A and B are shown apart, each in its own frame.
Chain A
Amino acid sequence: MAIQETKYLTEFYHLPEFKGIDGYKKNGGYVELEKALKMQPQAIIDEVKASGLRGRGGAGFSTGMKWGFLPKNNEPRYLLCNADEGEPGTFKDRMMMEKAPHQLIEGMIISGFAIGSKKSYIYVRGEYDQSINTLETAIQEAYKAGYLGKNILGSGFDHDMDVYRGAGAYICGEETGMISSLEGLKGQPKLKPPFPAVQGYLKKPTIVNNVETLAVVKYVIRDGAAHYKKIGTEKSTGTKLFSLSGNVMKPGNFEVPLGFPLKDMVFGLGGGMKPGRQLKAVIPGGSSAPVLNAEESNRALLDYENLAQMGTMLGSGAIIVIDDSNCMVQCLSNLMHFYHHESCGQCTPCREGTGWLDKITRSILSGKGRLQDIELLLKVADNMKGKTICALSDAAALPVLSFVPKFRDEFEYFVREGKSKVKGTAYKGHSYAEMHH
């Protein structure tokens, strides 16, 4: 049997009508909201906890547990949907927002009801113009239909929802960076503790969840935790949307149960390599996840535990495929340029370290690399890891700590010969100054 997707969240995504409220309702929309509003909020939290649902944004933390950290009082609290989707290689949230905005909205109202929040925001990446328009239309429709606003469906529960447009900073995808941005401050992560569940947006308890996580809540209510748990593996339950990109024949978003073999994703759903090319490496969880070489990719399973065991992570589910026509030094340099550009500059190791790594890789590319630069890359990255307020520093360090040891021959060749080991990549390194002016 051919390798196929498991369409659970994306069951009706092929229907253009699913985008509007009527089409959505025709296909089972807002049924779970009515059901949920008749439940006890704590029962919803317990159900989500029991389902084993883990955050789909990157960290993979148990959603039910996160909700459980909220203080048990009547303090106003906020629900934020993280739709900043900045991790290079990730484009699943965009599809969800544009094809099924009501799925997200319904999930958010149920989640808001569960945690007792009367106000939620969807923080959308600034470049996602279409997503923002679609969501805004959908929210208006939901207000008209009485799913948002005062006394929703006669339950006595009030909930308001707004879309907030980001301004294109990667760091605002970090939950406290997002909260700063939403507060009108410079998008910089905040010191933890206190964690957002205790003191977040406007110093009030706040839950930040990814688009996909919040959409899943509806399905946990629909099918129950017991059913949801059956999908995926024991500790990584449910399906997950993966964004497959890079050197494959058929890139795109694919929904599969967690624990799905990476090989089947690349060679099955992704259609394999271009003719005459060989698989060289795969970044399995967005650009900050440590890279896997071809051998590792062939045995990796797409779930939180297996990828952690292999020294990498599932992250946001962005699978970037690299074939043998690419130079790994160039790939790393490209990543380092990104992190250098996106570091908020708050913590010294990240502010200075990302720039340093960028400059070293660029110096290697321009043929001026020194052999000790390879060791230096590792030392710098090692000392950036785990030393900062947020994970951006780690995100920049982890690629270095995997690219260099796994493809050391390419780095050494580049330093010795002043050119790439991969033929046909006549890369002309340009100076750092040119990059910025």
Chain B
Amino acid sequence: MLKCTINGVALEVKPGTTIIEAMNNNAQRIAHYCWHPGLSVAGVCRLCMVEIQGNPRVQIACNTMVTEGMVINNTSDKVKDAVKWGLDFHLINHPLDCPVCDQAGECGLQDQYMEYGQYDSEMAEKKQKKHKVVDLGPTVVLDSERCILCSRCVRFTDEVSKTNELGIFNRGDHAEIGTHAGKPLDNKYSLNTVDICPVGALTSKDFRFKQRVWYLKDSETVCNGCSTGCNVKVYFNKEGLFRVKPIYNAEVNGHWMCDEGRDTYKFVNLGARLTKAYQFVSGTWIENYAGAAAKVAGANLKSAKAEEIGLVLTGQHTVEEYESIVSTFVNTFKTKNIFHWVNNKESFESFDGILLRGDKNPNTKGLLQVLEKHGINASWSQLEEGLKSKKIKHLVVAGPENTFVYPDLEQKMQLFLTAENLVVLTAAKTPALEAYKGSNKITAIPLKTYIEKDGTFINFQGRAQKFKKATTVVSEALTLSDAATLMAGQDLQLHVASPREVLVAEHIRADQVHLESRTKNEFVFNRGRL
């Protein structure tokens, strides 16, 4: 270990650590644009200037290794002046169109200007004109005038996605980011370029112009798009969820996530959700409260023969929920007819070498562990035969919340609909149920999504990742555990509402989102550092 002093704080760092890494790891602020911990060092923004004792010139922290006994500071007037000028060079040709820029509120230029700038510009000449609204591909739009040419996006496509779509064309102050003709920015990780863009040059087609970022709250959770379980932050407000971004976890996803995972917010929002319980009785759908519907369904099961009851589970729920529902079925309903619904069987084991896995469920491992614990080994063909021979008459299905990754949903639903009494616990609207015209009894009960509950996912590595509830979208929806408790005939534990919850409950309609009490708009502060 090397000893060094940074801004008066004595630190020990590993040999081979750069100054900027040492500062970043020890929560010391340093201005920078081109450096990113997940990419190679470019050393071009020239903003991360530090003063090293014994060296008359300020140095860039990103390409200078810490040496034994080094005394470093970045708070002296000399450094501040260098950063101020570095920032000014970034800004002279920048359009300063913050009022119409999507990045405003989380922009590196704004952050650094508030810290190092706050001067009047001396630039009196005409600004450089560049291309605007450049369509880079299906997901990303470029505004070249806002671009500060930090090359983060170019290095991302070179080093991480290894797709090499982006490049810097021309030179000097007319250089621009671009793609080659006929080779758009189109890869499964393209939106990471938007995340790492420190300014508003790259914007997401999905998110742009939807919300000002200061109207969004955020919460950390685990992506439920596949079995990798990337650590993510979801951004939401009372209108719903708006975007998902990765957060750093060296053991799981590094700094990145895939574009598919970013779409997972879409099935959480109200438009895709089942908001009420429905019962199909004698040819018509009757609306009911979720809790009441679960109790009725449970009572029906209790009066049925144990061997006629079946339960279908997907890998989309939490470990806690599996434990609750499986033990209810084993202990209360005395059945071990519990089946694992595997979607896209063919690609289940596939992996793209970066993050994306073929198993599109966040918690397959968790489900298998709970099933094993309870000694359950029923096969899918047993279910098919059971339904065909009418041996299984009462079927409870905990359906997927992310229906996009269940291509066999329709086909499987038709299979389940052959049961005399079908209870579908699902977060998503299910067209196959709505279209049903037969005479069987159906109950559909709304479930919460991963955003709306606490729980644990076990990813492909066997790593258990706990997450907290971020917000509520469908207030009446149940967790799988709630449903199990109610079906077992018990009542839910009375939850003593906080004054805030009472306030929310009184003033907001039941189907509206209410916010978790998060006060700090965290990403604004984090953005300045990363």
Mark A residues whose CB is within 8 Å of B: 169, 171, 186, 191, 193, 340-349, 351-356, 359-360, 363, 370, 372-373, 376, 379, 383, 386-389, 432-433
Mark B residues whose CB is within 8 Å of A: 41-47, 49, 57-58, 63, 82, 85-86, 89-90, 92-93, 122-126, 128, 148-149, 167-168, 170-175
Among B82, B85, B172, the residue within 8 A (CB) of A341 is B172
Tell me the minimal C-beta distance from B108 to chain A in angstroms. Answer: 13
Q: With A191-B43, A363-B125 known to touch, is A348 a contact of B86 (CB < 8 Å)?
A: yes
A169 to B124, CA, bound (A): 29
A345 nearest CB neighbor, chain B only:
B175
Q: By the criterion CB–CB under 8 Å, are B126 and A345 in contact? A: no
Q: By the criterion CB–CB under 8 Å, are A347 and B46 in contact? A: yes
A47 to B9, CA, bound (A): 49
Question: B63 contacts which chain A residues (CB < 8 A)?
Answer: 191, 193
Q: With A356-B125, A388-B46, A432-B126 known to touch, is A348 a contact of B170 (CB < 8 Å)?
A: no
Q: By the criterion CB–CB under 8 Å, are B172 and A356 in contact? A: no
Among A186, A370, A372, the residue within 8 A (CB) of B168 is A186
A29 to B42, CA, bound (A): 46
A252 to B42, CA, bound (A): 41
A232 to B46, CA, bound (A): 40
Among A342, A347, A356, the residue within 8 A (CB) of B44 is A347
List of 10 A-B pairs having minimum Cβ-Cβ separation, nearest first? A359-B125, A345-B175, A355-B173, A383-B85, A352-B89, A343-B172, A191-B43, A345-B171, A345-B172, A348-B89
Question: B85 contacts which chain A residues (CB < 8 A)?
Answer: 349, 383
Q: By the criterion CB–CB under 8 Å, are A345 and B173 in contact? A: yes
Question: B122 contacts which chain A residues (CB < 8 A)?
Answer: 372, 376, 379
Tell me the minimal C-beta distance from B114 to chain A in angstroms. Answer: 19
7 extra interface residue pairs, beta carbon distance < 8 Å, beyond A345-B175, A347-B43, A352-B93: A191-B43, A345-B174, A348-B89, A373-B124, A386-B57, A389-B44, A433-B126
A186 nearest CB neighbor, chain B only:
B168
A169 nearest CB neighbor, chain B only:
B171
A165 to B451, CA, bound (A): 60
Q: By the criterion CB–CB under 8 Å, are B172 and A387 in contact? A: no
Question: A349 contacts which chain B residues (CB < 8 A)?
Answer: 46, 85-86, 89
Q: With A345-B175, A388-B46 known to touch, is A352 a contact of B92 (CB < 8 Å)?
A: yes
A360 nearest CB neighbor, chain B only:
B125
B151 nearest CB neighbor, chain A only:
A346
Tell me the minimal C-beta distance from B248 to chain A in angstroms. Answer: 24
Q: By the criterion CB–CB under 8 Å, are A348 and B172 in contact? A: no
Question: A347 contacts which chain B residues (CB < 8 A)?
Answer: 43-46
Question: A376 contacts which chain B residues (CB < 8 A)?
Answer: 122
Q: By the criterion CB–CB under 8 Å, are A383 and B82 in contact? A: yes
Q: By the criterion CB–CB under 8 Å, are B123 and A356 in contact? A: yes
Tell me the minimal C-beta distance from A383 to chain B in angstroms. Answer: 4
Q: By the criterion CB–CB under 8 Å, are A348 and B93 in contact? A: no
A186 to B168, CA, bound (A): 9
Among B82, B149, B168, the residue within 8 A (CB) of A387 is B82
Question: A345 contacts which chain B residues (CB < 8 A)?
Answer: 149, 168, 170-175
A-B contact pairs, 26 of them (CB 8 A): A186-B167, A191-B41, A191-B63, A340-B172, A342-B171, A343-B171, A343-B172, A343-B173, A345-B170, A346-B42, A346-B44, A347-B43, A348-B45, A348-B90, A348-B148, A349-B46, A351-B173, A351-B175, A352-B92, A355-B173, A356-B89, A370-B124, A383-B82, A383-B85, A386-B57, A388-B46
A191 to B64, CA, bound (A): 11
Among A356, A363, A379, the residue within 8 A (CB) of B92 is A356
Q: By the criterion CB–CB under 8 Å, are B44 and A387 in contact? A: no
A356 to B126, CA, bound (A): 9
How many pairs of A and B residues are in contact by the CB < 8 Å rule?
Answer: 94
- Name the residue in B42, B93, B170, B174 with the highest tally of chain A Cβ atoms < 10 Å from its Cβ: B174
- Name the residue in B85, B89, B148, B175 with the highest tally of chain A Cβ atoms < 10 Å from its Cβ: B89
- Name the residue in A347, A348, A376, A388 with the highest tally of chain B Cβ atoms < 10 Å from its Cβ: A348
Q: With A376-B122, A387-B82 known to touch, is A355 a contact of B43 (CB < 8 Å)?
A: no
Question: A353 contacts which chain B residues (CB < 8 A)?
Answer: 89
Among B45, B90, B124, the residue within 8 A (CB) of A363 is B124
Tell me the minimal C-beta distance from A341 to chain B in angstroms. Answer: 7
Question: A389 contacts which chain B residues (CB < 8 A)?
Answer: 43-44
Among A344, A363, A386, A433, the residue within 8 A (CB) of B172 is A344
A404 to B348, CA, bound (A): 70
Question: A373 contacts which chain B residues (CB < 8 A)?
Answer: 124
Tell me the minimal C-beta distance from B282 to chain A in angstroms. Answer: 73
A222 to B151, CA, bound (A): 50
Tell me the minimal C-beta distance from B271 to chain A in angstroms. Answer: 44
Question: B42 contacts which chain A residues (CB < 8 A)?
Answer: 191, 346
Tell me the minimal C-beta distance from A11 to chain B in angstroms. Answer: 41
Q: By the criterion CB–CB under 8 Å, are A355 and B46 in contact? A: no
A432 to B129, CA, bound (A): 12
A356 to B88, CA, bound (A): 11
Tell me the minimal C-beta distance from B116 to chain A in angstroms. Answer: 13
A51 to B57, CA, bound (A): 32
Question: B47 contacts which chain A residues (CB < 8 A)?
Answer: 348
A383 to B174, CA, bound (A): 21
Question: A341 contacts which chain B residues (CB < 8 A)?
Answer: 172
Tell me the minimal C-beta distance from B80 to chain A in angstroms. Answer: 13
Question: B86 contacts which chain A residues (CB < 8 A)?
Answer: 348-349, 387
Q: By the criterion CB–CB under 8 Å, are A348 and B41 in contact? A: no
Q: By the criterion CB–CB under 8 Å, are B172 and A354 in contact? A: yes
A116 to B187, CA, bound (A): 45
B34 nearest CB neighbor, chain A only:
A348
B171 nearest CB neighbor, chain A only:
A345
Q: By the criterion CB–CB under 8 Å, are B175 and A352 in contact? A: no
A383 to B49, CA, bound (A): 13
A373 nearest CB neighbor, chain B only:
B124
A386 to B86, CA, bound (A): 12
A387 nearest CB neighbor, chain B only:
B46
A190 nearest CB neighbor, chain B only:
B43
Question: A352 contacts which chain B residues (CB < 8 A)?
Answer: 89-90, 92-93, 173
A372 to B167, CA, bound (A): 38
- Name the residue in B58, B125, B126, B173 with the highest tally of chain A Cβ atoms < 10 Å from its Cβ: B173
A376 to B89, CA, bound (A): 13
Question: A193 contacts which chain B residues (CB < 8 A)?
Answer: 63
A171 to B126, CA, bound (A): 26
A372 nearest CB neighbor, chain B only:
B122
- Name the residue in B46, B93, B123 with the highest tally of chain A Cβ atoms < 10 Å from its Cβ: B46
A261 to B362, CA, bound (A): 79
A349 to B57, CA, bound (A): 15
A359 to B128, CA, bound (A): 11
Question: B45 contacts which chain A residues (CB < 8 A)?
Answer: 347-348
A343 to B173, CA, bound (A): 8
Q: By the criterion CB–CB under 8 Å, are B46 and A348 in contact? A: yes
Among A354, A360, A383, A388, the residue within 8 A (CB) of B173 is A354
Q: By the criterion CB–CB under 8 Å, are A342 and B124 in contact? A: no
Question: A387 contacts which chain B residues (CB < 8 A)?
Answer: 46, 49, 58, 82, 86
Question: B149 contacts which chain A residues (CB < 8 A)?
Answer: 345-346, 348, 351
Question: B148 contacts which chain A residues (CB < 8 A)?
Answer: 348
A342 to B175, CA, bound (A): 12
Tell me the minimal C-beta distance from A91 to chain B in angstroms. Answer: 24
A193 to B41, CA, bound (A): 12
A373 to B122, CA, bound (A): 9
A386 to B126, CA, bound (A): 26
A370 nearest CB neighbor, chain B only:
B124
A341 to B43, CA, bound (A): 22
A320 to B171, CA, bound (A): 27
B167 nearest CB neighbor, chain A only:
A186
Question: A383 contacts which chain B residues (CB < 8 A)?
Answer: 82, 85, 89
Question: B170 contacts which chain A residues (CB < 8 A)?
Answer: 345
Q: By the criterion CB–CB under 8 Å, are B43 and A340 in contact? A: no
